[in-house]
Amino acid sequence: QVQLVESGGGPVQAGGSLRLSCAASGRTFSMYWMGWFRQAPGKEREFVAAIRWSGGSTYYADSVKGRFTISRDNAKNTVYLQMNSLEPEDTAVYYCAADINSGSYYGREYNYDYWGQGTQVTVSS
């Protein structure tokens, strides 16, 4: 199994930046995709970004493209989400997820096998 622990969330003013971290432990050698999802109050959980563990190919939701950057440090078993130019609409609980089954649908929740506890990001204006 894989355990995921997010950190780095908190309150931030509009236009500011945050960097979220997701530390993975356990069977990290089997990880294929790592993804970030978010869920705002009253809304469905939505895809934010994904990265292939080997190779580092990245994919983003249109709503965050150009503002957010996903990256990973394989040696540290950690994935990051750098969030710039934050807007109130970015307010949500952000979840880190890991796929160990080489799934193709990196933007879908069902593609992932393990999830972190989530970290709150609150953007005020």
Mean pLDDT of the chain: 95
So what's the pLDDT on residue 29?
81
Exposure string of 7-18, with b = 16+ CB inside 10 Å and e = fewer, is ebbeebeeeeeb
Residue range 49-90, pLDDT digits in tens: 999 999 899 999 999 999 999 999 989 999 999 999 999 999
125 contacts 13 by C-beta, under 8 angstroms: yes
Q: List the one residue out of 22, 50, 51, 37 whose CA is nearest residue 90.
A: 37
Asked if residue 115 has pLDDT above 90, the reply is yes
